[in-house]
Amino acid sequence: MANGDKTASVESHEALAVLRETMRRFHGNAQDSTANLRHKAARPLSEIEQIVQAQQRYVDSLESDASNSDDDEDGGDTAELDAARDRLAELEAAQAEAGSIVGEIESELNQFGTVLNELIPRATDFLRGKLDVLNEKAAIRLDTASTPGTGMDMTNPAANRALPAAQTPTASGTTDSVQNVPLPDGYHWVPLSEIDVANELTGVRSPNDFKKVDYATMRRGLETFRNKILPTLNSNRGKTLWDLNAMFRDQDAASGTSYEHGVQRAFEAFFSQGDAIYLDRGRQDNHFKIINGRHRIKAALDAGWTAIPARTKDLRQ
Amino acid sequence: MKAETGNLQGDWRTLEACWRETREGWNDSVAWRFEHEFWEPLSQAAGKMFRETESLSERLERVRAKVTR
């Protein structure tokens, strides 16, 4: 069966992205932990080796004393020497046993490391492939404000740069206070300055990197979001995601706009459970990683937005 | 060693919880394939590694105690 099975549940998209990231983190953490475990397992062995060496020196010194001593003192020396030799033999046996155990521990850790190194990259690639399929299906939703016949040169990235820079969206039309516009439950305005765009957008640098939805179309999707969706959100505070979705559906119906080109579809591009922008920040992280929505974030940055609506997992809080 | 194993077990439990949560909402044939191709072997390997290293580290500790008595 192909990796990109079209029957896959779109609702699992966000969860798949989180699972993929969690697997990658586990892989890195497990490599560090197993290296530390090897080091710590070797420590008792080293401790035993030192004790054996000390006992060996003690036996050597007793043997040296015995060879230099008078005959009438031999009885006491011999007993002490015998006891020391017995203890040395006992310690050497323990050293051998410890060495064997440490070897077994290393073997277990190596086997686990081999499984990790073999399975996790393949598993995360598998999930990446699955996510690509889901992204491809979901990304069409941004193709809402694309109006045929606008004169936009969809094949020329240079022409696309002529798109007017959108201001950060607010209901009042001003360029700030974006976070005053309410978002549906579960979504937050995340300042773009809190996202690690330098590292997270390395594969999305120019309009040519927008393959599934072209750059101009995506910019227009953002404008639809700014001009039509945010004012509605602002004047309909407290409405559920479901109510808002129905409202945009009704708007489209009233204006005779098809779903394909309507506002509802743009709304779902940001607020569908399956394809929301999803950001993740660990306890020690200063910036968010992007689990889903790199292209939208790049387009928003280019459009001059300072924040973006997203779902987040923020352990720093 | 116990502390380090504990860290690794904690990381593993996080991944397990994430998988369980994902699996609940992912019920197509791709999920089944992922589970059988990747998750089950990984889970078995992790379980074996934790069991064995715990048992071996206890043996190692007993040997060390015998030597340092």
**Shared-domain flag, residues A224 and A276:** yes
Nearest to A1 among B29, B66, B67 (CB): B29
Q: A238 and A116: one domain? A: no
Between chains, do A29 and B66 touch, taking CB under 8 Å as contact?
no
Task: Clarify whether residues A181 and A120 are in a common domain.
Answer: no
A233/A302 same-domain check: yes
By mean pLDDT, which of A179-183, A276-280, A286-290 is the weakest?
A: A179-183
**Which of B2, B5, B7, B8 should be substituted to probe chain A, the one whose Cβ sees the most A Cβ atoms within 10 Å?**
B8
Please report whether residue A146 resides in a domain. no
The pLDDT value given to residue A87: 93
Instruction: Let me know whether A159 and A303 are in one domain.
Output: yes
Give the DSSP H/E element, type plus range, for residue A133: helix A74-139
Q: Provide the 10 A C-beta neighbour count for residue A275.
A: 24
- Of the three residues A139, A166, A187, the one that is the final residue of a domain is A139
* A2 falls within a domain: no
Q: What is the pLDDT of residue A203?
A: 84
> Distance from B43 to chain A by nearest Cα, in Å?
10
Reported as a pLDDT band with limits 50, 70 and 90, residue A178 is low
**Which residues are registered as beta bridge partners of A279?**
A290, A312
pLDDT of residue A180: 73
Residues A135 and A158 in one domain: no
* Residue A159 and residue A66 share a domain: no
DSSP code, position A176: S
Closest by CA to A135, choosing from A67, A78, A74, A218, is: A218
Task: Compute the mean pLDDT over every residue in chain A, rounded to the nearest whole number.
Answer: 78
Inside any domain, residue A95: yes
CA distance A29 to chain B (A): 7
Verify that A124 and A194 share a domain, yes or no.
Answer: no
Per-residue model confidence (pLDDT) at position A30? 93
Does residue B14 belong to the interface with chain A, where contact is any CB pair within 8 Å? yes
Residue A7, C-beta contacts closer than 8 angstroms, at least 6 positions apart? B28, B29, B30
Q: Regarding predicted confidence, which is higher, A55 or A135?
A: A55
| Residue A89 structural domain | 10-139
Please name the residue of chain A whose CA is at the shortest distance from the CA of residue B35. A123
Domain end marker among A115, A139, A163: A139
Whether residue A149 is predicted with pLDDT greater than 60 in this model: the reply is no
Alpha helices in chain B (DSSP H): 2-24, 29-34, 40-68
Maximal CA-CA distance, chain B: 59
Q: Is B12 on the interface with A (CB under 8 A)?
A: yes
User: Which residue in chain B is spatially nearest to A5 when comparing CA positions?
Assistant: B30
A1 lies in some domain: no
Model-level ipTM above the cut of 0.90: yes
- Classify residue A55: in a domain, yes or no: yes
Residues in A closer than 8 angstroms to B42, CB to CB, are 115-116, 119-120, 123
Total structural domains within chain A: 2
In this predicted structure, what is the pLDDT of residue A163? 31
Q: Where in A179-306 does DSSP place strands (E)?
A: 188-191, 278-281, 289-292
Q: Which tens digit of pLDDT belongs to each residue from A138-148?
A: 554 444 333 33
The percentage of chain A sitting over the pLDDT mark of 70, rounded to a whole number, equals 78
A159 and A185: one domain?
yes
Mean pLDDT over residues A114-142, rounded?
A: 79
In this structure, of A80-84, A133-137, B8-12, the range with the lowest mean pLDDT score is A133-137
- Looking at the fold, whether A76 and A177 belong to one and the same domain comes out as no
pLDDT for residue B26 is more than 80 = yes
Pick the most confident of A134-138, A147-151, A229-233. A229-233
Average pLDDT over residues A276-298: 89
Q: Is residue A231 part of a domain?
A: yes
Distances (CA, A) of B63 to A3, A53, B6: 50, 17, 22
Q: Which residues on B lie below 8 Å from A51 (Cβ)?
A: 67-68
Judge if A128 and A176 occupy the same domain: no
In terms of Cβ atoms closer than 10 Å to its own Cβ (0-12, 13-18, 19+), residue A86 is: exposed
* Host H or E run for residue A159: helix A157-160
CATH number at residue A124: 1.10.287
**The pLDDT of residue A194 is above 80:** yes
Query: How many angstroms separate the CA of residue A112 from the nearest CA in chain B?
Result: 6
* Least-confidence region, from A5-9, A95-99, A303-307, A312-316: A5-9
Claim to verify: residue A162 and residue A69 sit in the same structural domain:
no
- Choosing from A139, A169, A188, the residue where a domain stops is A139
Q: What is the pLDDT of residue A77?
A: 73
Question: pTM for the whole thing?
Answer: 0.53
User: How far B33 CA lies from chain A's nearest CA (Å)?
Assistant: 9
In the predicted model, is pLDDT for residue A249 greater than 80? Answer: yes
Question: Does A242 reside within a domain?
Answer: yes
